[in-house]
């Protein structure tokens, strides 16, 4: 996310003019009877005074923006608000003092040159004016900080709202996909046909098939709307799905699953593995002589690989378009790591990052 509106040069200049107006307004309100205001607009040095004040306001604004931008990368307002406020306030306060010290040195040098190098005692009014200037400049810097912070928090809120909306949309798509699968007449008819055959041949196997069939529906109904689910639960669901596939396709498809125990406690978006297995079945042949091989394994503790041999079917089936694209988009919202899709001559591989909550 970009740092508030600070990348827009026009808005940054407007912020400086805002600080300049505020500077003169607050200074006048604090001491409207100061000799500084006597004949202010008739003095020949008025333009130089305005220019000098503009440069100071520019320095205050840019230093505040710089500090805020740096801290945005290190300390979040939403995670550590107290620490962030104290640190940013301190840094801005000292930056203002440093800028004023440099400005006072420049002014003293100019006055000393004009006076021919003769030392001049600073009057009480001038001392009061310097203290007043310091207080006002700190107030201005803090007001700029408040503007930056408010805009930053508003942008964060907007991004979080968009993030939640996108995530909800993707979850809805996954849920719709599962509902389509539930009411898909081919899916229901094929599995009921297999179930009726199994009941006639082996009642125990038919009972197990019906049990796994119901587990798939229950899992989809309960978990399709969740953002993430543990790999252990996802694999438990996948085992039920594989049971149906193996009894439907027989030896035309083979599965190899080898997942490290430590990876089971990590997370992935629900239905990820089912979508990838379904994708392999949709685009490849399944026959006994040359079975489709689907392998699921961990390369390391936080990376899961789902790969299948490539046995392309002659006619491409129409798909819903949700599958792999849905997985990519959900990962874009849930993790900084992204799935990788690799296509080789005889192998299709998807590398899935596992998420730690």
Tell me what pLDDT residue 118 has: 45
Tell me what pLDDT residue 6 has: 46
Per-residue pLDDT of the chain (357 residues; tens, 9 = 90+): 444 444 567 777 777 777 777 777 777 777 677 666 666 667 776 787 778 778 888 887 788 878 887 887 787 776 777 888 888 888 888 888 888 788 777 766 665 555 444 444 545 555 565 667 777 777 777 777 777 777 677 777 777 666 776 776 666 666 545 544 544 455 666 777 777 777 778 888 888 888 888 888 788 778 766 778 999 999 999 998 898 888 888 889 999 999 999 999 999 988 889 889 988 988 888 888 889 999 999 988 899 999 999 988 876 555 544 578 878 877 877 788 999 999 888 899 999 999 987
Per-position b or e across 297-317, b if 16+ CB within 10 A of its CB = ebeeebbbbbbbbbbeeeeee
Q: What is the residue extent of each domain of the chain?
A: 9-162, 184-353
CB 342 within 8 A of CB 310: no
Tell me what pLDDT residue 174 has: 61
Q: pLDDT for 138-158, tens place per residue?
A: 777 777 777 777 767 777 777
Percentage helix, strand, coil for the chain under 3-state DSSP, each rounded to 5:
65, 10, 20
Rounded to a whole number of angstroms, the distance between the first and last alpha carbons of the chain is: 22
Tell me what pLDDT residue 247 has: 85
Tell me what pLDDT residue 321 has: 47
CA 158 to centroid of chain Cα atoms: 12
Give me the CATH code for the 184-353 domain, please. 3.30.565
Tell me what pLDDT residue 28 has: 72
* 3-state SS assignment for residue 169: helix
């Amino acid at each position: 996310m970009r740092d508030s509106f600070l990348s827009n040069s026009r808005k940054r200049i407007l912020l400086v003019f805002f600080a300049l107006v505020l500077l003169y307004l607050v200074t006048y309100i604090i001491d409207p009877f100061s000799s500084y205001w006597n004949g202010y607009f008739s003095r020949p040095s008025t333009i130089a005074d305005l220019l000098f004040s503009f440069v100071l306001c520019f320095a205050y604004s840019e230093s505040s923006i710089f500090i805020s931008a740096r801290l945005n990368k290190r300390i979040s307002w939403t995670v550590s608000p107290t620490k962030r406020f104290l640190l940013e306030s301190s840094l801005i306060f000292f930056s203002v003092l440093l800028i004023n010290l440099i400005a006072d040195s420049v002014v003293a040098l100019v006055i000393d040159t004009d006076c021919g190098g003769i030392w001049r005692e600073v009057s009480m009014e001038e001392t009061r004016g310097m203290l007043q200037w310091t207080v006002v400049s700190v107030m201005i810097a803090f007001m700029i900080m408040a503007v930056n912070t408010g805009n930053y928090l508003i942008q964060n809120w907007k991004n979080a709202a968009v993030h939640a909306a996108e995530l909800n949309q993707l979850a809805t798509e996954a849920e719709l996909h599962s509902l389509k699968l539930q009411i898909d007449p081919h899916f229901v008819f094929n599995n009921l046909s297999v179930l009726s055959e199994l009941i006639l041949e082996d009642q125990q196997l038919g009972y197990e098939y019906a049990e796994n069939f119901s587990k798939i529906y229950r899992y989809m109904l309960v978990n399709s709307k969740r953002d993430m689910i543990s790999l252990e639960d996802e694999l438990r669901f996948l085992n039920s799905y594989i049971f149906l596939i193996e009894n439907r396709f027989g030896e035309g498809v083979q599965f190899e699953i080898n997942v490290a125990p430590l990876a089971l406690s990590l997370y992935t978006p629900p239905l990820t593995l089912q979508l990838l297995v379904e994708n392999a079945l949709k685009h490849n042949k399944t026959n006994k002589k040359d079975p489709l091989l689907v392998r699921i394994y961990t390369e390391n503790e936080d990376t899961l690989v789902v790969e299948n041999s490539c046995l392309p079917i002659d006619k491409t089936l129409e798909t819903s378009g949700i599958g792999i694209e849905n997985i990519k988009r959900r990962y874009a919202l849930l993790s900084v790591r992204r799935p990788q899709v690799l296509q080789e001559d005889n192998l299709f591989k998807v590398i899935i990052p596992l998420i730690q909550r």
